Amino acid sequence: MEVFIRRLPKVELHLHIEGSLEPELMFEMAERNGISLPYSTIEEARNAYQFEDLQSFLNIYYQGANVLVTERDFFDLTWAYLLRCKADNVIHTEIFFDPQTHTARGIAFDTVINGIFHALRQGEKELGITSKLIMCFLRHLSEEEALETLAQAEPHLNRIVAVGLDSSEIGHPPAKFQRVFTKALAMGLKTVAHAGEEGPASNIWDAMNLLNVSRIDHGVQCTEDPVLVADLAKSRMPLTVCPLSNIKLRVFDSMSDHNILTLLDQGLCVTINSDDPAFFGGYMTDNFLAVNNALHPSRSQLVQLTRNAIEASFISDEEANTLNAALDEFWANHGNDA
């Protein structure tokens, strides 16, 4: 089964590029940019990646992002992630970036997006990994600041497929960002939002009804509301679930408690993703293996998780047909639930 999972074509839809900053690369960037870190060794930094909840994680996450200064830094960060994708057989990825984390430090919006975008294009050319870019608003900041960020993004709309909403969910409901999401939709962008991770099921309803999202990031708290679960199944509203993240942030006590396969069996369009892999203990293959080891899915269930991700992605029908053909070929050669 492990060999099957490693070879399985994968599609990632929930990845914060800043959350893929490994301690080794953090130290490298800190040195070349003359930035001091609160850690004396790489091992000390890795040991500091321990959290009690979402907010304690975010505190360390934003601190680490301080080493990202130049276009080269953002390129190197994205390229390192793409090399992980290649090793994990990720054939398509749709990544989040948080411009406000950087513009607040005086880093130009152009610097951030240019470095990320150029790495993504090189990844498609040299690694064969297709990609899309999603700009997230930090929900602990004001909607006015989000509107300002959207304005900064206007010259780059040809590089961005959607806007999202991340950071602290508790105390920052979707309604807070209804105006900026309405404006983004009018500009031709798609919308996604983190909802139902630490927050209640009502945040999922609000993300759908107020923000008109095309998919829900996380969404595992939907089980609080059976009517919502039924609606999600009927509409095929995608949930970009992040198993290892959910355990690390205590959304579930253990992987054996996770509801991803229950939701899959109920007909929901759930997918597996890595969220902030440098902090949460693993990239895509690690997440699939963790789910397999604890919940023992069938091979057809694992393939369905990738098929769901293709369905949920922001690619053209032609591109989806290409990815599904690759998955069909894999299943023809390796598929058997016996």
Residue 101 binned pLDDT confidence (cut-offs 50, 70, 90): very high
Per the annotation, does 16 bind a ligand? Answer: yes
H helices of 250-298, in order, are 260-265, 277-280, 284-295
160-175 pLDDT per residue, tens: 999 999 988 999 999 9
Strands of the chain (E only): list them.
Answer: 10-16, 90-97, 130-138, 162-166, 190-195, 215-218, 239-241, 270-272
194 is in an annotated binding site: yes
Beta strands 215-218 and 190-195 are parallel
145 is catalytic: no
pLDDT at 174: 97
pLDDT recorded at residue 106: 96
- Residue 50's pLDDT band (boundaries 50, 70, 90)? confident
- Residue 87 within a domain: yes
Q: Is the dihedral of CA 60, 64, 66, 70 positive or negative?
A: negative
Q: What pLDDT does residue 60 have?
A: 77
Domain-located, residue 338: no
**pLDDT confidence of residue 38:** 83
What does the pLDDT look like over 57-71, one tens digit per residue? 777 777 788 999 999
Q: What is the DSSP string of 84-153?
A: HHHHTTEEEEEEEE-HHHHHTTT--HHHHHHHHHHHHHHHHHHH--EEEEEEEEETTS-HHHHHHHHHHH
3-state DSSP percent of the chain in helix, strand and coil, to 5: 60, 15, 25
Residue 119 included in any domain: yes
Q: Is position 171 within any domain?
A: yes
pTM (two decimals): 0.95
pLDDT, residue 252, reads: 96
The tens digit of pLDDT for each residue in 214-268 reads 999 999 999 999 999 999 999 999 999 999 999 998 999 999 999 999 999 999 9
Which tokens hold the place of 206?
Answer: 């609000």
Q: How many helices and strands in the chain, by DSSP H and E?
A: 17, 8
d(CA 43, CA 25): 13
Instruction: Judge whether 250 lies within some domain.
Output: yes
Mean pLDDT, range 22-44, rounded to an integer: 90
* Residue 312, pLDDT above cutoff 90: yes
pLDDT score, position 310: 98
Residues forming beta bridges with residue 191, ordered by sequence position = 163
Cβ-contact 284, 12 below 8 angstroms: yes
Report the pLDDT value the prediction gives residue 46, as an integer from 0 to 100: 82
- 289 in Cβ contact with 5 (< 8 Å): yes
Domain that holds residue 266: 2-333
Is 259 among the domain residues?
Answer: yes
The chain-wide mean pLDDT, for the chain, equals 95
Question: What is the count of structural domains for the chain?
Answer: 1
CATH code where residue 284 lies: 3.20.20.140
Is 14 annotated to bind a ligand? Reply is yes
Residue 68 is assigned to a structural domain of this protein: yes
For residue 31, what are its two tokens?
């040195």
Whether residue 320 lies inside any domain: the answer is yes
Task: Check 12, 22, 71, 197 and give the catalytic one.
Answer: 197
Q: Which amino acid is at 190?
A: K
Taking residues 282-300, what's their average pLDDT? 97
What integer pLDDT is reported at residue 337 of this predicted model?
62
